[in-house]
Chain A
Amino acid sequence: DTGVSQNPRHKITKRGQNVTFRCDPISEHNRLYWYRQTLGQGPEFLTYFQNEAQLEKSRLLSDRFSAERPKGSFSTLEIQRTEQGDSAMYLCASSLRTGTGEQFFGPGTRLTVL
């Protein structure tokens, strides 16, 4: 395990479809974060987990978005009834609660909603 991995790397879907992304954090990291990044902007916080507990969810996050981390390891982010405005890069990051604070990012999943 050399870093955070995300799958798929690219997803093209039609408006109204549901999509699910997966993030595998660095194995010993107990914190996991989801961010969304649109072109020309910095990553925007969506939600984060400590182990399996979802500690915070952005107030900007629509009810169409849901995230899980059932066993405190990998996480999934689901978007229901996708809209064109959901097109973005979805980044996952992980960190160690008692570590330096550095968040290690995955390569992201590029979502395009047609």
Chain B
Amino acid sequence: GENVEQHPSTLSVQEGDSAVIKCTYSDSASNYFPWYKQELGKRPQLIIDIRSNVGEKKDQRIAVTLNKTAKHFSLHITETQPEDSAVYFCAASGILGSWGKLQFGAGTQVVVTP
């Protein structure tokens, strides 16, 4: 089955700097890669996703890149703000005509210091 590894486990950045989180996956059939943000005591919420036919996707300060050959994808947050502090999870899913289960990474605790 799919295995997703995520690094680093914790990331401390100064406000205004960039943050990068990296994930690798094992199943070459995986073709949907979402990123979720989870604030303390709250539910995971999707912040961006990418499909395997796309190499990069941006949404304001957030971008995700995908390298299918190397089987890794990354989340980039630019101009970080204190409200970006949370745990971020990457995930991978193999889609056979419809949307299937997600295999999550272990998470990255991001702390943005003013």
Are B43 and A106 in contact, CB atoms less than 8 angstroms apart? yes
Q: Cα distance A66–B93 when bound, in Å?
A: 23
Complex partner residue of A101 from B45, B99, B103, CB under 8 angstroms: B99
Chain B residues in 8 Å Cβ range of A50: 98
Q: Cα distance A56–B2 when bound, in Å?
A: 15
A85 contacts the other chain (CB 8 A):
no
Q: Cα distance A33–B37 when bound, in Å?
A: 18
Are B104 and A101 in contact, CB atoms less than 8 angstroms apart? no
Chain A residue nearest to B98 in the complex (CB)? A97
Q: Give the size range of B's interface with the partner.
A: 20 to 34
Q: Cα distance A4–B43 when bound, in Å?
A: 10
Are A107 and B95 in contact, CB atoms less than 8 angstroms apart? no
Are A105 and B106 in contact, CB atoms less than 8 angstroms apart? no
Given contact pairs A42-B89, A101-B93, a sample of 11 additional A-B residue pairs in the complex whose CB atoms are under 8 Å apart: A40-B106, A40-B107, A41-B106, A42-B104, A45-B103, A91-B43, A97-B98, A98-B98, A101-B49, A102-B49, A107-B43
B residues engaging A (CB < 8 A)? 4, 6, 32, 34, 36, 42-46, 49, 51, 89, 91, 93, 95, 98-107
Instruction: Give 19 CB contacts A-B under 8 Å.
Output: A31-B98, A31-B99, A35-B102, A40-B106, A42-B6, A43-B89, A45-B102, A45-B103, A48-B100, A56-B100, A99-B99, A100-B49, A101-B49, A101-B51, A102-B49, A103-B46, A105-B36, A105-B43, A105-B44
